[in-house]
Chain A
């Protein structure tokens, strides 16, 4: 965190100054480790085993916060008899279809809830019975997110056993599932000694409970894996068992990849969701608004009002053109026909299915996994628009990419027309950032952008204007969605569209045209407009609430008047859980939101995340719907059963519980199960994406890529600047002294790092900060690779992402950043010799030329 989020890390240092214990778990010893109380080196890609060990420690020593767990989680829920765990099936859950590589979650349901459940209704992959993916292969449309933020539907709480003794209740299943994640197992998977494991387990459990809470912060070291979503699930299970959710000082903080990634999920740049996590409609299933919302309408909790959010969004897009008679222009929305995620799109480019591409502040030629596939894809387009501040590799790959050197691509034969458009930086335009706490913070423009550089807002506004101008006389129905758009942003003195006007449009307006103040005001009759329901209130009282900057020393520690946090300026969501079931604070020390019996209201330091006048002992009617169905002890108000899900009966593509699987490329066999890899992982079959066979002597080492404080992601914003470049002037790899001895690597000398995809070179730093990890009798060495360089910029070098394979998490389609490699002293071969060099490695490792993505994995 100090390494990649130094500004946010100041608060960790502040906490430390006040007595907090800081534990850092990371394959490498970083700037965070340097100031932490404890650094725990871990084998990259083994996080679920480590966290699973902690879950097992909590369960087997009865260290869970039992009162919280019984009341606020689904620990008591009883699961269908037909459910089979990885314990029963050697690493598989029931419902797996080996043909499609997908799970059917039928047997994971609550007993007594399935008959009414909308199970699958929100699930195009199931309902549509096959969609058109590449090669006729059926791809889900990111199933876990098709449910939107409400999560998938379970119609009721089902059968519960609050003694937690029922053999098929979630608590007992959890105990059995994690029983094998012992400290000894953690050692043999992660390379963490039982002694060190005990230190972490003791510190964490001691600091959790009524009086104390612990927080977990993670970054892409957890998410960029073929089991990424499940890693976060494991952390969620752990924190929920310890009562660390919905309470001050608790939680799980996602440290995003760069500024406002949270914002670009809320107002998404993702293919499968609309603003506010509304699901993107599916072509086969959602013919009209009614079928789109029916899976959610009437669900318990605030998600039950989804129709209001959807209609208000449509009104925001199409204004007066959207009426009840035309389904509020629901037909104007694009539809999913399958997986349109980024890596599938890249494959589509290579195969000629995708012809045009916008790159906005993104440099996939350096920053995305399997750089070669990225460049092959871009080389096969009709047109490519690159908007960036610097001439990045993704705009110049056609003349200086690595494939030009090897002869795999020839400049004269690349037909892609590249448009490079200079972009304004964040200080050259006004706008908001949304950070990991869901906080919007407005920034004013500091300086004018240089030359022709323009903001993204200006670019898209102008692009829209020009397209609409070209189409203005069109009578083609297809053009109506563009022509009917509300596209009328006022311009500021500098000619830029007014960003605050856009924020106000996102906030939404009522029938009187005035800014709304809360999403509870949204209506499903077309009388309200709102561009993103969860952001409703950011412009309350016609004030840009995100621009508030009252310093923390002028208000209490919750600092509600700094920026604005969605939803409803609520700083901690699910904060009803900060009080006991009876509504009193768990402890004086951790008092936050509680029930004021006299006033008959929830009150406290934050905006209560609950129906404000619902008493703690309220039991809803059987047929209650929406917010009316929330019971007095159901803090997780966005979940249809009001409970935190230790066990996920629906919505996770690779199983209801997290399970350790080895990364697609691993030096060891999975010690936990016969299954080597995530059975539901999504393979990307392409000759440019061969997988190193697991436990291969040819690729004996683990590599992991990462960032340095001094550089920014793919480097376009840092290795183009002298003051940052001089601080870390060259690509390097970090190795332990033991590995340096084993491979004759010299400090500051050159090394070549090889995988089945490619080989790169880098200078060597031999350092004690890289640890040799002992897994039983096997010592694992890891090669650390900062990934910021490419052929352009003040200093240049090879891109580690050329080494990374594409094997995707089935929930969110992210790649696995970890792989195996060989490392040798000296520089890599040049030109066609490089191709031959890598080909020789593939042959010796036994990569199957006919099925190179197989990876020889499962026993």
Chain B
């Protein structure tokens, strides 16, 4: 679809039928919107998702470099990494100096029924209290499997000049490599930095949410491989309910740091088709705190462009009229 076509669609704000907006007709005429809910609180960082994704989609390796960034050696999403597990090591009590006194705990500790101190305030499934009475402070190790967000308003799709990027009947966003001309507009249009060009190839690649598997009624490879159900695949509406439930459950357990990311249909991209439960600020995981689709302002921009054009035309006409007058 070209920029002109995209003007026919909504470019930002809440959108409940993303496929309908893309021309798939009424909700009854297309399948429900499908997506991922990635619950990072139960992620164990096994990277099975990364491997399953590459195996299924025949994505090449991404180089053999020890990054030194904890156990994260693929480092970021890119043309050859469509699932990426982030590993974040964080001191548990960055400001507390543990003096090693027996029974000492950081302020706010209480005890739950097991007799263990709740690892509040950081507390969460992924927030173990470790070695409270030793010299060094405890550590948290956050793990999160990141993926293309399949935005409601996808910047990549909106700017693609060849129609290589398209919205599927499942509401997902997919690149057709045979049409991609490698212009790279999509790369700068993605507010999350997901899509990228493969250097040796020149074209753009990213997660397809296993479009081929979805067409066969199958679960995407990553979700299929995830042993702990951290990656959940399903209808976006249902996943949102599940996410709300899980969040409430964690909050009830005192895990106040838990939050949803990308779930809100009112956010800068109209909500994500792949959204997350995080145990810290999005920035900690390398996610933008407030992503906005760059095309949000495109309508305004076109208004300005239109006004400018009219002005130019007006000036031109005026000059013609005036010169004609002079001739007269």
Contacts of A16 in B (CB 8 A): 125
Contacts of B114 in A (CB 8 A): 21, 37, 203, 206-207
Cα distance, A738 to B131, chains bound together (Å): 15
Cα distance, A185 to B227, chains bound together (Å): 39
Q: Known A31-B46, A206-B115, A730-B66; judge A195-B130 contact (CB<8 A).
A: no
Q: Does residue A728 face the partner (Cβ distance < 8 Å to B)?
A: yes
Q: Which of A30-61 contact B (CB under 8 A)?
A: 31-41
Selected from B47, B70, B134, the residue in CB contact (under 8 A) with A727 is B47
Q: Does residue B119 face the partner (Cβ distance < 8 Å to A)?
A: yes
| CB pair A195 B103 closer than 8 Å | yes
Q: Does residue A410 face the partner (Cβ distance < 8 Å to B)?
A: no
Selected from B64, B70, B89, B136, the residue in CB contact (under 8 A) with A795 is B64
Contacts of A747 in B (CB 8 A): 68
Q: Mark B113-141, 1 if CB is under 8 A from A, else 0.
A: 01111010000011011111111111111
Q: Does residue A7 face the partner (Cβ distance < 8 Å to B)?
A: yes
Selected from B64, B66, B102, the residue in CB contact (under 8 A) with A195 is B102
Q: Does residue A748 face the partner (Cβ distance < 8 Å to B)?
A: yes
| CB pair A748 B66 closer than 8 Å | yes
Contacts of B189 in A (CB 8 A): none
Contacts of A709 in B (CB 8 A): 45-47
| CB pair B227 A9 closer than 8 Å | yes
Q: How far is the CB of A725 from chain B (nearest CB, A)?
A: 6
| CB pair B74 A726 closer than 8 Å | yes
Q: How far is the CB of B251 from chain A (nearest CB, A)?
A: 15
Q: Closest chain B residue to A187 by CB distance?
A: B133
Q: Which of B296-310 contact A (CB under 8 A)?
A: none
Cα distance, A202 to B134, chains bound together (Å): 20
Cα distance, A381 to B141, chains bound together (Å): 48
Number of interface residues of B (CB under 8 A): 54
| CB pair B130 A33 closer than 8 Å | yes
| CB pair B89 A768 closer than 8 Å | yes
Contacts of A35 in B (CB 8 A): 42, 44, 125-126, 128
Q: Which of B62-87 contact A (CB under 8 A)?
A: 62-66, 68, 70-71, 73-74
| CB pair B128 A763 closer than 8 Å | no
Q: Which of A214-231 contact B (CB under 8 A)?
A: none
Q: Closest chain A residue to B66 by CB distance?
A: A730
Number of interface residues of A (CB under 8 A): 63
Selected from B54, B68, B139, B141, the residue in CB contact (under 8 A) with A31 is B141
| CB pair B130 A41 closer than 8 Å | yes
| CB pair A34 B140 closer than 8 Å | yes
Contacts of A7 in B (CB 8 A): 227
Contacts of A767 in B (CB 8 A): 70, 89, 139
| CB pair A31 B228 closer than 8 Å | no
Q: How far is the CB of A458 from chain B (nearest CB, A)?
A: 26
| A24, A196, A747, A779: most-surrounded residue (chain B CB, <10 A) | A196
| CB pair B128 A36 closer than 8 Å | yes
Cα distance, A2 to B61, chains bound together (Å): 24
Cα distance, A84 to B45, chains bound together (Å): 50
Contacts of A468 in B (CB 8 A): none
Cα distance, A769 to B134, chains bound together (Å): 13
Selected from A39, A727, A729, A795, the residue in CB contact (under 8 A) with B131 is A39
Q: Which of A1-21 contact B (CB under 8 A)?
A: 2, 6-7, 9-10, 13, 16-17, 21
Cα distance, A250 to B135, chains bound together (Å): 35
Q: How far is the CB of B101 from chain A (nearest CB, A)?
A: 9
Cα distance, A274 to B136, chains bound together (Å): 50
| CB pair A13 B132 closer than 8 Å | no
Q: Mark A707-751, 1 if CB is under 8 A from B, else 0.
A: 011100000000000111111111010001110000000011000
Q: Does residue B100 face the partner (Cβ distance < 8 Å to A)?
A: yes
Q: Does residue A199 face the partner (Cβ distance < 8 Å to B)?
A: yes
| CB pair B116 A9 closer than 8 Å | no
Q: Known A34-B143, A195-B133, A738-B136; judge A729-B73 contact (CB<8 A).
A: yes
Q: Closest chain B residue to A32 by CB distance?
A: B44
Q: Does residue A517 face the partner (Cβ distance < 8 Å to B)?
A: no
| CB pair A193 B66 closer than 8 Å | no
Q: How far is the CB of B125 from chain A (nearest CB, A)?
A: 5
Contacts of B197 in A (CB 8 A): none
Q: Does residue B169 face the partner (Cβ distance < 8 Å to A)?
A: no
Cα distance, A2 to B42, chains bound together (Å): 11
Contacts of B128 in A (CB 8 A): 24, 29, 33-39
Q: How far is the CB of A782 from chain B (nearest CB, A)?
A: 12
Contacts of B140 in A (CB 8 A): 34
Q: Does residue B212 face the partner (Cβ distance < 8 Å to A)?
A: no
Q: Mark B27-61, 1 if CB is under 8 A from A, else 0.
A: 00000000000000010111110110011000011
Contacts of A738 in B (CB 8 A): 135-136
Q: Does residue B314 face the partner (Cβ distance < 8 Å to A)?
A: no
Q: How far is the CB of A12 from chain B (nearest CB, A)?
A: 9
Q: Closest chain A residue to B141 by CB distance?
A: A34
Q: Does residue B244 face the partner (Cβ distance < 8 Å to A)?
A: no
Q: How far is the CB of B315 from chain A (nearest CB, A)?
A: 59
Contacts of B70 in A (CB 8 A): 765, 767
| CB pair B44 A726 closer than 8 Å | no
Cα distance, A722 to B55, chains bound together (Å): 11
Q: Among the listed stretches A687-695, A770-778, A808-816, A840-848, which one makes contact with chain B, having 4 or more residues with CB under 8 Å of it?
A: A770-778
| CB pair A193 B100 closer than 8 Å | yes
| CB pair A710 B134 closer than 8 Å | no
Q: Known A31-B44, A779-B135; judge A38-B102 contact (CB<8 A).
A: no
**Inter-chain pairs besides A9-B228, A709-B46, A748-B68, 10 sampled, C-beta below 8 Å:** A17-B42, A29-B139, A207-B114, A722-B60, A763-B66, A769-B141, A771-B134, A774-B100, A774-B135, A794-B64
* Among all A-B residue pairs, the 7 with the closest Cβ atoms: A193-B133, A722-B61, A21-B114, A39-B130, A6-B46, A34-B141, A729-B64
Could you list some 26 contacts between A and B, CB below 8 A?
A2-B46, A6-B44, A10-B227, A10-B229, A13-B228, A29-B130, A31-B45, A31-B46, A31-B141, A35-B126, A37-B129, A38-B130, A39-B128, A193-B102, A195-B103, A202-B115, A708-B71, A709-B46, A709-B47, A710-B47, A723-B51, A726-B62, A730-B66, A736-B136, A765-B68, A771-B130
